[in-house]
Amino acid sequence: MKKRLMIVGAGGVGNVVVKKSARMDDLYAEIMLASRTKSKCDAIAQGSGPVPVVTAEVNADDVPALVALITGFKPDLLINVALPYQDLTIMEACLQTGVHYVDTANYEPKDKAEFEYSWQWDFDDRFKAAHLTAILGSGFDPGVTNVFTAYAQKHYFDEIHYLDIVDCNAGDHGKSFATNFNPEINIREITQRGRYWEEGAWKSTDPLAIKKQVDYPNIGERPSYLLYHEELESLVKHFPTIRRARFWMTFSEQYINHLKVLESVGMTSIEPILYEGIAIQPLQFLKAVLPEPSSLGENYTGETSIGVQLRGIKDGKERTLYIYNNCKHQSAYQDTKAQGVSYTTGVPAAIGGRLLAQGIWKRSGVWNMEQFDPDPFMALLPELGLPWEIVVDGALSFDEEDMIHA
Ligand code: NDP
């Protein structure tokens, strides 16, 4: 029997999840797209199909409002591509209504620039008792990077020892400063202290203090900065042989300079200030004046390259592996009218939803992506627009001695 899908969040990523899922007419009977601003849902629904897409307005911070909407539409599963602030209320509403759950980013409290899985892992017992599945982090990173690691472990390694996730956006959107996903979440992520795992402990660095040249396929060398990224937390937990785990992301000099100025004048702060008697968060105000990530697609050139570089042991011998996807912004735009960063997040979210709806990735409880069989997900990636490449025993950008002395 065909399934009913609800998607919450009508931003850059939501657009891609709706477009891709609405083409799955073998699987879905009807889709509802619900978000804070209904006109954005209607605009996305208009260009989507053949599965019918209905729309609704909802405040996803409000559990009773979500429960009422879900009870009326009766979805089998819900894909949450609103903001990380809404993860817990949406999970709660899914539990109250008996609906499976998928998201792409872990929970963050609004008043603290901090993210970790504990809040969502705490729902595990309740999801198990309700025989419901929650799949956490089904975007690209987290998401595909977790699946790449699980695939490498399954087919290529006895033990993974070193893991470096490398994320490059070599695109040009023609704006002097814009973020590729929600500006508030993006700036909170990159202005916090860097963190990485080494020999059984977390080590921390000043924000963007560590930089390395990384050679990206089809792009070349780019300066890449060490950041803390949420998938490191679940990957070191689920692959305990990992001795060092790090995450690297490219930023242009122009981007870093803008960010430094904005930071130095207080525009990236989340501490409320009083402006003409009204309390506002400078970062939320900044978001309001920056371009919407979903508006960047049309003139975006260049490509992204995101992958995992691994080092470890197979049959007693040392092994290296690099597994990655490159995605052209223009191909993403032609397929879904989205830029590459929304696309590389929305396609994996649609795949996570598909595997859950088909019952292939259905398992009671709260799970990270690397805890499922990676093979069906890896098979769907190229079919849905994200082909991947794998290089076994080639040179990597990092060697095992490449420790950081921060
Ligand atoms: P956008 O800001 O473009 O979209 C977010 C959407 O959520 C907007 O439509 C917004 O409504 C809606 N929304 C916000 N608050 C509420 C609320 N209280 N109730 C209902 N709807 C709400 O962000 P993106 O599309 O770029 O990102 C979506 C998610 O994807 C984020 O959680 C982000 O962290 C995650 N992400 C994950 C990545 C990965 O690789 N794993 C990479 C990139 C993003 P409105 O339009 O009214 O503002």
pLDDT averages per 10-residue partition of the chain, 406 residues: 98 97 98 98 96 98 98 98 97 98 96 89 98 98 98 98 97 91 86 94 95 96 95 98 97 89 93 94 93 88 98 98 98 96 97 98 98 98 98 89 56
**166, 306, 403 from 162: Cα distances, Å:** 13, 17, 11
> Beta-carbon neighbour count of residue 297 at 10 Å?
23
Cα–Cα distances (Å) from 211 to 206, 219, 325, in that order, read: 12, 18, 22
400 secondary structure, DSSP code: T
Q: Does any ligand 1 atom lie closer than 6 A to the CB of residue 37?
A: yes
CA dihedral angle for residue 232, residue 189, residue 108, residue 403, rounded to 10 degrees: 30
Query: Residues for the chain: how many in total?
Result: 406
**CA distance readout (Å), 25 to 30, 47, 76, 376, 386:** 9, 15, 15, 19, 20
Q: Which two tokens stand for residue 153?
A: 């472990």
What is the residue-wise DSSP string for 74-136?
Answer: --SEEEE-S-GGGHHHHHHHHHHHT-EEEESS----TTS----SHHHHTTHHHHHHTT-EEEE
Q: Ligand 1: distance of its center to the CA of 264 in Å?
A: 26
For position 325, what pLDDT does the model report?
98
3-139+342-382 has which CATH code? Answer: 3.40.50.720
CA dist 88 → 74, 82, 134, 254, 362 (Å): 20, 12, 12, 36, 20
Decide: 89 in ligand 1 pocket, CB within 6 A.
Answer: no
Compute, in angstroms, the gap from residue 293 CA to the centroid of ligand 1.
10
Q: Ligand 1 mean position to 181 CA, how many Å?
A: 8
d(CA 74, ligand 1 centre) in Å: 23
What is the distance in A from the centroid of ligand 1 to the CA of 118? 21
CB atoms within 10 A of CB 64: 10
Structure tokens at 285: 């105000």
Check residue 403 and give its pLDDT: 56
Q: For residue 131, what is the enclosing H or E element?
A: none
Residue 137 alpha carbon, nearest atom of ligand 1:
41
In the three-class reduction of DSSP (H, G, I as helix; E, B as strand; rest coil), residue 284 is classed as helix
Amino acid (one-letter) located at 68: A
Measured in degrees and rounded to the nearest 5, phi and psi for residue 237 equal -75, -45
Classify domain 144-336+386-392 by CATH number.
3.30.360.10
Q: Which ligand 1 atom minimizes the distance to the CA of 184?
A: 2
> Helix crossing, 63-73 with 87-97: angle to 10°?
50
Whether the full predicted model's pTM is greater than 0.85, yes or no, is: yes
Task: Please indicate whether residue 40, judged by its CB atom, sits closer than 6 Å to ligand 1.
Answer: yes
d(CA 29, CA 275): 48
Residues of the chain with CATH 3.40.50.720: 3-139+342-382
Residue 404's pLDDT is 54
pLDDT score, position 406:
40
Smallest CA separation from ligand 1 atom 1, residue: 11
Gap from CA of 11 to ligand 1 centroid (Å)? 5
Ligand 1 contact via 345 beta carbon (within 6 Å): yes
C-alpha to C-alpha distance for 305 and 140, rounded to whole angstroms: 11
